[in-house]
Structure 1
């Protein structure tokens, strides 16, 4: 299904609307933080459509306020229902699916901060791995109206009949592009089969590859609307991007040099491999830098404490895998450094989107070696940005480009064919060798 976009004449003008003018009721407006005076662009476009009961696909840059864009309408709808019926009879009405435990925790905290002020009867439940099921089952007994969950843990609880999804009226896929990929999609499909067909479905993401467009469209059927608060796969204008060409073996030394030279108060370093995250963190500590690693192989308690310490400035540098790339908000995080480029171009957009959130300025540095040119080309194509490579002082590049990488940065995976004569010559040599091998000694 083709999802229509709003016409220019119906789009609200920026910085002129209030949340009340979008349809947010007085009770919910009264508990909003004082700093939230005007809704962001994605909130302006999405909230009225959601309140009108329409299915929505919303694309907006990281840090643009997507959580409240879907969260405020959900809280308002649930609160209104609680006002009209007994809260004890209310089962889970709304489900927000997210790809990572950290994002599940963040969304839960953001919405709980409002819900707790709105009504003591409005309960939000976090369901994710890394937390004992017994603890979650005890909380489920209180019959939460809104559930924030990762697909794996939710599916486990549903298949064990600990939770029913037959009362779900609102479904949100946050970081929808990730949830639609094969790693999560089978579990998401199983969960959707447990829900009523008649429900409001909302998809929110910063990026959406064209290959997933048609799949996203199939999930939306109730007068769907597509809103794009920014150019597809765009990087926030407030992010300054610097890319340096360095030797592959010099990246760790270059990282240490940058950290010591600029002394940033907080730095989030991204690396693809879990083992490398631990090794780099140890190397930074040895160099006298307050650093630690964060990745999916750690116990959830360790992960949560590391993130809390980082947000509280008790840790200067966190070396993280891509579980930190999506949705995680750290107030005024000044710098993100890519120690390696992700092989998936959309992940680059999510990584650097951890800085320059909510309109603040930020810096994103990437250390690139010759072998990463295909990844850089893909990122340039996705973001439509030039992203020139600069040299880094005291780190001259001595590595040579691989013969497999063309001048335009694409990977030349097709090995050159040998001339027919060479093949024939090789066959003759092999034949001679095989004949000699079978001749007896005289």
Structure 2
């Protein structure tokens, strides 16, 4: 199938990058439905081309001669909003459509200035877009198309209240498109309230992992994880690796140990300012950084060409995040390797991931790293504390106070002898 068979006009097809010649499965299914002005709920794997699946038909439907904001794309993170802009802005420019990217980390006044340039397409994070609405710096009354990208992440990160507030300033007569790689019952219930008779698109089984990913999971001692990680990275020293960790401070700690081992490494997490985050991500994309240690800021939607290795230093507490993390590799039909270091304390999380993905995900042992930790059996090591007894003990001042009445009588009787 070709893009022209999807009823995209010749001018738009001509504006596509030279390496994009054949529509992906999600594009084949979503583009005709969107061009027919239907609401869409699409479940599509990471790396399947969903940005163009909603972006191309929206660009075709935008009227370049009008100066109003006609379409809004909402993404959960700055990184994803910025990447979506990088994908769509060059195409939009060739069609004489103006775009604006609105997200945190940049002065609100600077982004308000972008609005004065009369963009027809806005790509934004929910918090920043809502702040601009509250400042009356932006007018969304002419919006005809609303996209909720990575909709499940918008829900997980607590943005749904912001989404509901934004919907009140966008016309009810609009087209709403929800795209996500995973689909929970909670998300399904929420999006039903913002969609009208949606066309449902599924290019894979719900919450499944991309076929091209080779998953390998290793059981290691909790205290051995860092050395195991260093060993694995040295085995794959000819390839870039993205390492996911749950805590921001943990990312910095691990990066220092990797650097000490001679590994070219940088970190990316929420405590970094926007300029630093953008600079680090660009360095990694340009292959000038071998290893990037990141929190789940990079788990969603971020595309890195030919990234071969993804490593979970920690398993994510939310099973769906696992699917998104390892989806940073094996994108656009390529293959990739996803490694996870699992300690005994994470076995319950692992089982939740197995249940979600319907994969067996067997645990293997890692050579030179024998497992000596003893798994917890879930029993309490000591009886619950008697708080009243603790308070009584705190009031006792001499050894007599700690003796029972019988012990005190015996002691007095002994002294009387």
C-alpha displacement of 1:134: 2.2
2: CA distance, partners of 1:168 / 1:191: 11
Q: Does 1:206 align with 2:181?
A: yes
C-alpha displacement of 1:211: 2.6
C-alpha displacement of 1:63: 0.2
SS at match of 1:357: coil
TM-score normalised by length of structure 2: 0.91
2: CA distance, partners of 1:194 / 1:433: 70
> Where does residue 385 of structure 1 map in the other structure?
359
Q: Does 1:33 align with 2:17?
A: yes
Question: For each residue in 1:235-291, what CA deviation from the matched residue of structure 2 results, as whole angstroms up to 9, or x when unmatched?
Answer: 110000000000001000001011112213310000000000001111111110000
> Where does residue 161 of structure 2 map in the other structure?
186
Residue 230 of structure 1, aligned match among 201, 204, 207: 204
Q: Does 1:366 align with 2:336?
A: no
C-alpha displacement of 1:335: 0.4
TM-score normalised by length of structure 1: 0.86
Unaligned runs of 5+ in 1: 1-16, 405-411
Residue 146 of structure 2, aligned match among 162, 171, 195: 171
**8 A contact 2:218–2:340 mirrored in 1:** yes
Larger radius of gyration, structure 1 or 2?
2
> Where does residue 329 of structure 1 map in the other structure?
303
> Where does residue 376 of structure 2 map in the other structure?
402
Q: Does 1:97 align with 2:81?
A: no
**8 A contact 2:239–2:309 mirrored in 1:** no
Paired residues, number: 399
Q: Does 1:355 align with 2:332?
A: no
1: CA distance, partners of 2:204 / 2:3: 20
2: CA distance, partners of 1:91 / 1:264: 49
1: CA distance, partners of 2:342 / 2:381: 27
C-alpha displacement of 1:434: 9.3
Q: Does 1:77 align with 2:61?
A: yes
Unaligned runs of 5+ in 2: 394-400, 413-417
2: CA distance, partners of 1:434 / 1:211: 59
2: CA distance, partners of 1:436 / 1:166: 82
SS at match of 1:219: coil
Runs of 4+ in 1 over 2 A off after TM superposition: 415-418, 432-437, 439-442
C-alpha displacement of 1:137: 1.7
SS at match of 1:348: helix
> Where does residue 45 of structure 2 map in the other structure?
61
> Where does residue 125 of structure 2 map in the other structure?
150
2: CA distance, partners of 1:225 / 1:403: 47
> Where does residue 32 of structure 2 map in the other structure?
48
**8 A contact 1:170–1:201 mirrored in 2:** yes
> Where does residue 6 of structure 1 map in the other structure?
none
> Where does residue 271 of structure 1 map in the other structure?
245
**8 A contact 2:26–2:44 mirrored in 1:** yes
1: CA distance, partners of 2:242 / 2:2: 34
C-alpha displacement of 1:185: 0.9
C-alpha displacement of 1:140: 1.1
1: CA distance, partners of 2:227 / 2:144: 53
C-alpha displacement of 1:180: 2.5
C-alpha displacement of 1:175: 0.2
SS at match of 1:358: coil
